[in-house]
Structure 1
Amino acid sequence: MNLALWIVAGLLAAVYLFSGFGKLFVPREKMAAMTDFARWVLDFKPGTLKAIGALEILGAVGLIVPALVGIAPILVPLAASGLALMMTGAVIMRIRRGETKAALADGLYLVLAAFVAIGRFALTA
């Protein structure tokens, strides 16, 4: 179980780091032009996107670093819970926009983050 949690946390960390840095450094117009799945960024102000990106980066770091260094490992399930909450909002936004395929993809990230949160809470208890 511990190995599965590490693998899922590592994959999620990579995804959220990539996504977070993209939101911080790529202009939203350019991001929206990349794919149809990124058109949602035009609904938000640049500052909001930067805040989302920063939270994704902090969540990604929180998934790996505390468990890796052994300092405050309770932060891992808390970071995973925060990312799960963010993805809940993403799924709701996608459903409201009628983007079913994107909502399913975001739902997968939600399930994976919840898996890490529940698994790490169970292991630290």
Structure 2
Amino acid sequence: MAATSTLEIAMSTSIETAPSGRALRIGLWVAQGLLFFTFVAAGLVKTLTPIPQLAAMMPWTGEHSEAFVRIIGLIDLAGGIGILLPALTRILPNLTVLAALGCSVLQVFAIAFHVSRGEAPVTPLNLVLLALALFVLWGRGRILPIAPRPF
């Protein structure tokens, strides 16, 4: 019975002394990964897919110039790469915060754009991406910033 008590004390102590920011740190990396994959995938689709095929998936792309669609794709790619790569490599990690800000602004404009076109059913995805980007902005900007790599 003494061994059980010692085990219980050891377990409760390890739980109590666990870093309080561990769950937040994991959540931030998961959010950054989700944003990376979503924005990079969307960017690749918008930059590489022929406009007629793209218009079948996203009707707005057939109603705007090809240059506009491709630029939006490049912005998506830059946001996706910027949300993860600087933090992951610890090279200019403040760029992750700026990318999160840019992705947040992009989603606000995307929501306004889709609502103005009567495409409100597509906005839940934009709202989720906005929430994730704001979470990364808050977390990496104020709570758990990534330290730059020493050179």
Relative to the length of structure 1, the TM-score reads: 0.91
| 1:43 positional shift | 2.8
1:6-48: CA deviations, max 9, x gaps?
A: 00110110011111011111122211213xxx11212321111
AA aligned to 1:52 is I
AA aligned to 2:27 is A
| 1:124 positional shift | 2.5
Displacement over 2 Å in runs of 4+? none
AA aligned to 1:18 is A
Q: Report the Cα distance in structure 2 between the residues aligned to 1:74 and 1:24, rounded to whole angstroms.
A: 27
SS at match of 1:124: coil
**Identical columns (%):** 31
Q: Report the Cα distance in structure 1 between the residues aligned to 2:91 and 2:82, rounded to whole angstroms.
A: 11
Residue matched to 2:44:
21
Answering whether residue 53 of structure 2 is matched by residue 30 of structure 1, we say: yes
Q: Report the Cα distance in structure 2 between the residues aligned to 1:86 and 1:98, rounded to whole angstroms.
A: 18
SS at match of 2:91: coil
Question: Relative contact order (alpha carbons < 8 A, sep ≥ 6): 1 or 2 greater?
Answer: 1
Residue matched to 1:64:
84
Unaligned runs of 5+ in 2: 1-23, 147-151
Answering whether residue 123 of structure 2 is matched by residue 103 of structure 1, we say: yes
Q: Report the Cα distance in structure 1 between the residues aligned to 2:135 and 2:125, rounded to whole angstroms.
A: 15
**Residues 35-114 of structure 1 correspond to what in structure 2 (within 5 A)?**
38-114=58-134
Answering whether residue 139 of structure 2 is matched by residue 116 of structure 1, we say: no
1:33-91: CA deviations, max 9, x gaps?
A: 13xxx112123211111111111111111111111111111111110110111111100
SS at match of 2:47: helix
Residue matched to 1:9:
32
Q: Report the Cα distance in structure 1 between the residues aligned to 2:102 and 2:38, rounded to whole angstroms.
A: 15
| 1:99 positional shift | 1.3
Q: Report the Cα distance in structure 1 between the residues aligned to 2:81 and 2:125, rounded to whole angstroms.
A: 22
